[in-house]
Amino acid sequence: MATEHEYIDLEELDKNFVSTFDGIFFKLNASTNKELVEDFKFQSKVLADKIRQVKISANKQRIEDVANEMLGKEAALRSLYLLCEMWLSIFSNPHKAWVYYVDAEEWGELAVKFFRNPRLVTLYTNYFKSIELLLFPQMVFFSAGFNRTPGKCTICELPMKECEHIEGRIYFGQVCDEFGWKIIEADHVAFVDHPRDRRCFSHAYKSDGQWIDRVTRAKIERPGKPDEEDGFLVEGTILTAHTPAGVFL
Ligand SMILES: [Zn+2]
C-alpha cells in the first residue's frame, strides 16, 4: 500500500516487525547490558513510529484490516520500548519505573489481542506478571472519587452518549475511549487493591517517625512534611492525566 510519501511493502514490514520484536523480547531481562537496552529502546521506537505512519495512512484510506494490524504491531513495539525505559530507570528512579511498567503493560494488553500464536500470548502475559512480582511486590493503590463533565468519543468526537461506537472496541486502528472530560469536584480518596489506574500508587509512608519508600522499602527523608497526629501519613499519586494506549492515531 502507499502512504503519502512512499510505497510500503507490508510483507517486508511484517518480517521486519517479527525480527525486531523477537530480537528484543527474548533478550530483554535484568542482566541485559545497558547499552544493548538503549539500542533496543531506539530500535523499537523507530519501527513503532514507522508502523504508526502506515496505520494512519490505512485509517485515512479506510482499510480497516491493515489499520488494525498496524495498531497491534505498534502496540507490541511500544510495550517493548516502555519495558526498556523501565529497566533503564529501575535504580535511578524506581517510581518512574513503575509508571513505565504500567504503560508497557497497557500497550502489551492491546498487543496480545493481535498475537496469532497462543504460546506467545501466554509468554508475554507471564513476562509481565513475573516482572511485577519480582520488582514491585508490595504496591498499594489509590482510587479517587470525583464528579466530572461528560467526555467525547475518540473515534467520532461526538459526546459519548450520542454516538454508536463502543468503548474499548477497535475501529480502523484506533481504540474507542472517552476523552476531553474535566473534573468538577473532588470527593474522596480510598486505598484499593484493584484501582482503575495503577499509576495511582502510594510512594511512601511514615511509620514510627520514619518515612519509608513504598516501592524500594528504603528509609527516606521527607523534610517539611507535617507530623502525624491521630492518623498516619502517606504520600502518592491520586490522579493522572495519561492517554490510554491506542486511543489516538
Ligand atoms: Zn463515536
Shared-domain flag, residues 127 and 15:
yes
Asked if 157 and 130 sit in the same domain, the reply is no
- Out of 135, 151, 174, pick the residue that ends a domain: 135
Which pLDDT score is estimated for 104?
A: 97
Q: How far is the CA of 152 from the centre of ligand 1 (A)?
A: 8
The answer to whether the pTM exceeds 0.85 is yes
Q: Which of 98, 118, 135 finishes a domain?
A: 135
Q: Which of 118, 135, 152 is the last residue of a domain?
A: 135
119 and 188 inside one domain? no
Is 248 part of any domain? no
Specify the amino acid at residue 11.
Answer: E
Handedness of CA 148, 177, 103, 60 (dihedral sign): negative
CB 238 within 8 A of CB 200: yes
1 neighbors 57 (Cβ within 8 angstroms): yes
Grid-cell match 509512608, residue found:
205
Evaluated on CA atoms 119, 125, 128, 131, the torsion sign reads negative
C-alpha 153 to ligand 1 mean position (Å): 5
Number of domains in the chain: 2
The answer to whether residue 155 sits within a structural domain is yes
Q: Are 55 and 26 part of one and the same domain?
A: yes
**Do 228 and 163 sit in the same domain of this protein?**
yes
From the CA of 28, how far away is ligand 1's center (Å)?
Answer: 38
Q: What is the pLDDT of residue 129?
A: 95
- Cα 207 to ligand 1 centroid, rounded to whole Å: 48
Q: How many angstroms separate the alpha carbon of residue 160 from the centre of ligand 1? A: 6
What is the model's pLDDT at position 48?
98
Distance from the alpha carbon of residue 177 to the mean position of ligand 1, in angstroms: 9
CA of 212 relative to ligand 1 center, distance in Å: 45
Ligand 1 centroid distance, CA of 249 (Å):
14
193 alpha carbon – ligand 1 mean position (Å): 32
Cβ contacts of residue 108 below 8 Å, gap of 6+?
A: 75, 76, 79, 124, 125, 128
Does residue 45 fall inside a structural domain?
A: yes
Instruction: Please tell me whether residues 20 and 126 are part of one structural domain.
Output: yes
Which pLDDT belongs to residue 243? 85
Q: Is 153 helix (H, G, I), strand (E, B) or coil?
A: strand
> Are 175 and 247 spatial neighbours (Cβ–Cβ below 8 Å)?
yes
Give me the residues of the chain with pLDDT under 50, please. Answer: none
**139 CA → ligand 1 middle, Å:** 35
| Residue 21 to residue 14: CA distance in whole angstroms | 10
Question: DSSP letters along 163-218, please?
Answer: S---TT-EETTEE--EE---EEEEEEEEEESS-S-TT-BEEEEEETTEEEETTT--
Ligand 1 centroid, distance to 116 Cα (angstroms): 28
> Residues 114, 174: one domain?
no
Together in a domain, 85 and 31? yes
Structural domain contains residue 121: yes
Q: Same domain for 152 and 94? A: no
Rounded CA separation 152/156 (Å): 8
Range of the domain at 110: 10-135
Q: Are 126 and 44 part of one and the same domain?
A: yes
Query: Would you list the DSSP string of 5-38?
Result: SSB--HHHHHHHHHHHHHHHHTT-STTS-HHHHH
Residue 246 in any domain: the answer is no
Whether residues 182 and 229 share a domain: the answer is yes
pLDDT score, position 190: 87
Confirm whether 74 is domain-assigned.
yes
CA 200 to ligand 1 center in whole angstroms: 28
**pLDDT of res. 228:** 67
In the numeric block, the cell 509468554 is attached to 123
- Are 80 and 40 contacting, i.e. CB atoms less than 8 angstroms apart? yes
Residue type, 141: F
The reply to whether 177 and 110 lie within a common domain is no
Tell me, in angstroms, the distance from the centre of ligand 1 to residue 159's CA.
8
Does a structural domain hold residue 247?
A: no
- Give the per-residue pLDDT at 245: 93
In a domain, 241, yes or no: no
